[in-house]
Amino acid sequence: MDVRGAVAVVTGASSGIGAATALRLHEAGARLVLHGRDGDRLDALAERTGGVAVRADFAEPGAVEAAAEEIAARAGRVDVLVNNAGMGYAGPVSGMSGADVRRLLSVNLAAPVELTRALLPALLDCPRSVVVFVTSIAGRAGVAGESVYSATKAGVDVFAESLRLELAGTGVRVGVVVPGVVDTEFFARRGRPYQRRSPRPVPADKVAAAVLGAITAERAEQYVPRWLRLPIAVRGTVPSVYRALSARFGGSAEFPESFRHWKR
């Protein structure tokens, strides 16, 4: 798919992976519709890229529907939808409030499902279009202390796969990008900064490059970094080995790194 002149909607574009993705798409010649919560950052990015800014907090009731209506009204058409907006939470599930759980479910799972549903008619109207979901290795491997976050990302994974099957034979392609630890403000915002030495965070632009590849090359699935495929393959083929290693590392973020060293 050639993104030059294509209308691309990027959620969570005010920082991190979303902002890096927006810049990549801008450099490739796309016309941008940028969603985010931080109005100042969003406006600055829109000015830099010539994009349209749509400010919304997807945790608020009716926010996704309102944003979809604004996107449709201001964009005219939608060729690319990048569902990237998300938030984290670090800590045992027993320490979460009901509001914490609902916010994670709303922003990470309900919002991409609802926005995709709302914009799907516009995507189907295009001869060729792409929907990309930015998920997480936590949704495939599970991480202790991030139970609800992991569950939301796993839900997006299954939704994306089901949508891909549902849209077979249409002009809409579905891609998933599965990042590991990324160097963004995500960890500070979730309530616990990332302090481990391994695995080392990858730059947000590396994930953005994978998102662009999912669009232009219509790749169904990409891991960032690529070696993250290994623990998931082990989980599917020899689950007992996977669970033994997971128990050893406590289901922590270091767990996938153990497979990296084993591979070497």
For 93, residues 6+ apart whose C-beta sits below 8 A from its C-beta are 147, 148
In the set 149, 194, 223, 242, the catalytic residue is: 149
Residue with tokens 């662009």: 212
Paired tokens of 238: 């020899």
Helix (H, G, I), strand (E, B) or coil at 58: coil
Q: How many residues comprise the chain? A: 264
Instruction: For residue 97, count other CB atoms closer than 10 A to its CB.
Output: 8
Question: Exposed, middle or buried, 92 (CB in 10 Å: 0-12/13-18/19+)?
Answer: exposed
Report d(CA 78, CA 261) in Å as an integer.
Answer: 43
The two structure tokens encoding residue 179: 């990042």
Token pair, residue 202, equals: 């990858």
| Cβ proximity of 242 and 107 under 8 Å | no
Catalytic residue status for 89 = no
Active-site annotation, residues: 149
